[in-house]
Structure 1
């Protein structure tokens, strides 16, 4: 009879989902940016009361948050210093010397999280095999540590050349620093990102140090607050790669949480896709602050081992700070319900990425917001029932929305507030559709035959229009869509990935060395997973990142989950060349192959699902009323029937234009669309 609770902190709302014995209770509360744990604790009280439970009934709590991402984007992390190999203090600024826009003479490049004054070098040097060329100068480490301490630095990153092969100097430096500066938070590149390529490794390590004090303090406050409220169950954190980990590991490596909230949404979409048997899906998660799109193929989200945060060029690869972490691959843009609209210097309506957040929020929240947001535009277009917004927990002030829209958009462009709102919604829909197009192009795929799974507070509101823009004819809105990411946390496996570098030539593969490395990686991953698997069966995956000698990019190749022997080298070569030919049309005969790094993932096994059976047609429910809605395609205002989702039964069908309302969101069924409830209680929308 124990229950499982999931909490997702967003920029505007904190979402909670509670499940027990197949039943689910959800709630949304406003995020408390000054102390996020306060919003979590208030939400826990609310959802437990709704379910008629007490804290002792909860056996597991899973948490995801974008606090780490927001701290990097807003530059609100700790004052961070970097100790590195003498002569390499400017690696963070130089990067790989590429330009994301070759022809912009005034290009703005992302600024390192550590100013040059706090990037200091010490004499030491290892070669590419980890052999000591110059011993570490411990006295230099002491001098630099005391200098950074005197400067008020709060966190320290240590990254030496070739430390991914031999971590001895980094560990020695950390011991020296702790003797003279025992209370500083230290991040080692050999622990955070032990992989080749100094810029990415140093950048990831610095980012980890930058958010570690903030995240560690928050997680400890959250744990203590939950315990004080009676929730003594285990607490797990959602990782950016789609797995779960312990609070202790998350506090040590908080950089792995940068996309934890959006990752839950992608897991949610993949789960719904398996339930329905949809093997090609676009996950569309629109919340209060951002919108996230992710491709899901063969019931698994696209994954990557690299990520950019805080891009200074919208949709521009290379314009952000690089992170080398396991991550679900997605595009995230500032296009949520709280995204602010204004008129730029060229007289164009621009939406986001600035957000009203939870405080003060959109103008219609009545909390002091003066600038119009997407939610204000939807309110003026008649898309929301002002009295039932957020499950009836708050009432929207349409007058405040009209005033804000008129002042910021209407008057400058000579438009009535409602027409200005139409422009705002059409612009934000186009922004999201454009992000989806770019994501598909970068992934080498398209949208023919795909299904959009729309969730988040705004996803079902904008889903049909975004689908029309990218040429998709089908949209699925699962139950609990308003808190989809939180529900996704409950579907995620307990898993952990370990990555290590060990340079190998396939022609002279050191089988014993590789087996020793993979064994230690397996033990580390299993140790983390065992803390939360509760005896569940786990599965292990091994991957080698390989390339032809002299090339610049690697291909991931699965390895057998066992000790390798000398005969495996030939089989690995055959498999690599087949995979290379799949990517680049043909292999390169006669070229030797090199392995740069290995990854081992251990995770609990995901439950098997059979697609839900079709249900027979059932009578449509009676409308609970109607609203005057302005169609964003034609601009025409007309009555749209409003249905209560709880009145619909499997097989019931309603015709657009109409609105299907529920506690956390509303599904807009546009003209030409039909909406039918399937056997799972999901809304299946199809365009004629």
Structure 2
């Protein structure tokens, strides 16, 4: 409540200016804003509850991952978003992202838990890692190579941008390793300075460590990949999820460039890189339903529950959700309510959300609720707790409208009739070769370069390979098999033998 009141005037003024600007441009549609929990709300509700949109950008990327997973028949995914400053990873299980009910803002130490201001609000559960294309590499006081979490940002950016940056970054290393084409960055709209990147890596990293420029660049790439892999593995395992069961869905400007090594290290069975990975969060905004979250605190042991009171709380929240969504234009028959209870063993200091069945709750359901709590607890912790009573602390309802129906329209960029022929599109898409670094090949090797926009559904080829598009580049290592699916996702079947 305090945080909401604090940011409400500024966010309200900003959203109002945005509405005015859209009206002045004769925008005929409605303005919706993404929530941290993965749904959208009308502008009027965003102005009333601005604390709900604090993490709207990252939530959009996860919503896109969930949507792509649904149409690709992959309900379990690791959503991996890597940009210029940070990488973010989220577990999507059974078609739904994991949700946390508190998070921190304004951390004194950006990636240190407990150094920020706690906010009690539903948010898609993400781990944020200080690893991005602009992350700065350095040799520390102990003579060790470190990468991040500080970043060169977009201005001045990496040395290779030629904007005055002096510190070597992950992007500079990628350029040296041959993963980026200096003449095709941003689709050719921006040239990269390869020699500048090599000088910076030589002076700041290679010479102090007694390495070649190429060894130093690979060290930067390897460290940032291992940093992400270690954090992702811990994040998944702490939530009872085995990353070896989850394909990796990679997006963001830098995500597809680092996803192969991350998937290899995690043991993921496959890597999915969508077309337009650099702007994927926008798909999430379009695919998210209208929704609203409610919570009521009413502690009670399961064996001593006043079921009438519990049903009254749930009905009250469902009624509020129904009214808000109907006021937003959602037909009553298309509104759904998901219910959950935050439960724990008596005496514990934390609780876990447990799904509740539809319909009235009553004493005869207590054994079923206990069994569901134990199932969720076992999944998280691989064991059950002591033989003590179980209690409910909070009751939750998520009210949602229907999932928007999006229809993909795709086109292959080619000037001949091979665009719909999978095998022909591979040869048409091949732009040439360049030297790129793969340790499995003992260093640099001639690597095929493919134009992403010319690869038709059904096209298959093997790594090593580099697949380029305007907003991102996919790196595929030796031994992996690539195919283009019906939605033009690049699907990489991993060999799961980390180097």
TM-score by length of 1: 0.64
| 1:579 and 2:376 correspond | no
| Contact map agreement 1:557 1:576 (CA 8 A) in 2 | no
Q: Does 1:663 align with 2:470?
A: yes
Is 2:64 the counterpart of 1:268?
Answer: yes
Quote the Cα distance in structure 2 between the aligned partners of 1:430 and 1:214.
Answer: 40
C-alpha deviation, 1:503, in angstroms? 3.1
Rate the CA distance shift 1:530–1:395 in 2: closer, same or farther, 3 A: farther
Structure 1 equivalent of residue 414 of structure 2: none
SS at match of 2:256: helix
1:241 aligned to 30, 34, 37, which one?
Answer: 37
Q: Secondary structure at the residue paired with 1:597?
A: strand
Q: Quick check: 1:245–1:528 contact (8 Å CA) kept in 2?
A: no
Describe the shift of the 1:361–1:587 C-alpha distance in structure 2 as closer, same or farther (beyond 3 A): closer
In structure 2, what is the equivalent of residue 621 of structure 1? Answer: 427
Which residue of structure 2 aligns with residue 169 of structure 1? none
Secondary structure of 1:618 counterpart: helix
- Are the structure 2 counterparts of residues 381 and 226 from structure 1 closer, same or farther at C-alpha, using a change threshold of 3 Å? farther
What is the CA distance between 1:210 and its match in structure 2? 5.3
Q: Helix, strand or coil: the match of 1:448?
A: helix
Q: By how many angstroms is 1:324 displaced?
A: 1.9
Q: How far apart, CA to CA, are the structure 2 residues paired with 1:310 and 1:685?
A: 38
Q: Deviations over 1:424-444 (max 9, x none)?
A: 111111111111111122112
**Aligned position for 1:406:** 202
- 2:334 aligns with one of 537, 543, 553: 537
Q: Which position in structure 1 is the counterpart of 2:485?
A: 678
Indicate how the Cα distance of structure 1 residues 577 and 648 shifts in structure 2: closer, same or farther if over 3 A, else same. Answer: closer
- Partners of 1:239 and 1:257 within 8 A in 2: yes
1:322-361 → structure 2 map (5 Å cutoff): 322-361=118-157
Map 1:71-86 onto structure 2 (within 5 A). none
The equivalent of 2:415 in structure 1 is: none
Whether 2:413 is the aligned partner of 1:631: answer no
User: For residues 211 and 414 of structure 1, do their structure 2 counterparts lie closer, same or farther at Cα, with a shift above 3 Å needed?
Assistant: farther
How far residue 315 of structure 1 moved from its aligned partner, in angstroms, is 7.1
Asked which structure has the greater CA Rg, the reply is 1
The alignment partner of 2:237 has SS state of helix
**2:171 is matched with which residue?**
375
User: Contact 1:219 / 1:251 at 8 angstroms: preserved in 2?
Assistant: yes
Structure 1 residues 619-659: Cα deviation after superposition (integer angstroms, max 9, x where no partner)? 42242122221225566122211111122111111221111
Give yes or no for contact 1:578–1:587 (8 Å, CA) kept in 2: no
Match of 2:285 among 489, 504, 515: 489
**Shift in alpha-carbon separation, 1:562–1:677, aligned structure 2, 3 A:** same
CA drift of 1:356 comes to 2.1
Aligned-residue offset at 1:506: 4.3
**CA distance in 2 between partners of 1:450 and 1:513 (Å):** 40
Mapped to 1, the partners of 2:304 and 2:226 lie a distance apart of 53
Residues 601, 421 of structure 1: CA spacing in aligned structure 2 closer, same or farther, 3 A cutoff? Answer: same
Contact 1:270 1:296 in 2 (8 A): yes
In structure 1, runs of 5+ residues without a counterpart are 1-187, 189-204, 610-614
- Specify the SS of the correspondent of 1:638: strand
Q: Which of 79, 86, 103 is equivalent to 1:307?
A: 103
| Counterpart-to-counterpart distance in 2, 1:455 and 1:493 | 21
Cα distance in structure 2, aligned partners of 1:573 and 1:320: 39
Residue number in structure 1 paired with 2:320 = 524
- 1:570 matched to which residue of 2? 364
**Are the counterparts in 2 of residues 388 and 395 from structure 1 also a CA contact under 8 Å?**
yes
Provide closer, same or farther for how the CA distance between residues 640 and 255 of structure 1 changes in structure 2, counting only shifts above 3 A: same
In structure 2, the gaps of 5 or more residues are: 407-419
Name 2:228's counterpart in structure 1. 432
Q: Which residue of 1 aligns with 2:409?
A: none
Residue 629 of structure 1 aligns to a residue whose secondary structure is strand
Mapped partners of 1:569, 1:554: distance in 2: 21
Write out aligned runs for 1:252-291 (5 A): 252-291=48-87
Q: String of CA shifts for 1:30-66, please: whole Å, max 9, x gaps.
A: xxxxxxxxxxxxxxxxxxxxxxxxxxxxxxxxxxxxx
Offset at residue 601 of structure 1 (A):
0.8
Cα deviation 1:487-519 (Å, max 9, x = unaligned): 111111111101121233445544454444333
Q: Distance in 1 between matches of 2:164 and 2:261?
A: 30
Please give the alpha-carbon distance, in whole angstroms, between the structure 2 residues aligned to 1:477 and 1:547: 39
Match of 2:24 in 1: 228
Distance 1:269 1:443, change over 3 A: same
Task: State whether residues 287 and 405 of structure 2, in contact with CA within 8 Å, keep that contact through their aligned partners in structure 1.
Answer: no
| Structure 2: distance between partners of 1:382 and 1:214 | 45
How many residues end up aligned between the 2 structures? 475
Q: Would you say 1:498 and 2:294 are equivalent positions?
A: yes
Q: In structure 2, do the counterparts of structure 1 residues 488 and 582 end up closer, same or farther at CA, with 3 Å as the change threshold?
A: closer
Q: Distance in 2 between matches of 1:537 and 1:281?
A: 27
Query: Following TM superposition, by how much is the alpha carbon of 1:579 offset from its aligned partner in structure 2, in angstroms?
Result: 2.3
CA distance in 1, matches of 2:366, 2:404: 30
Q: Does 2:181 align with 1:363?
A: no
CA distance in 2, matches of 1:399, 1:319: 40
Deviation at 1:320, TM superposition (A): 4.6
Contact map agreement 1:283 1:296 (CA 8 A) in 2 = yes
Tell me, yes or no, if the aligned pair for 1:494 and 1:533 is still in contact at 8 Å: no
Match of 1:557 in 2: 354
Distance in 2 separating the partners of 1:350 and 1:213: 41
Change (3 A) 1:395 1:224: farther
| Relative contact order higher in (CA < 8 Å, ≥ 6 apart) | 2
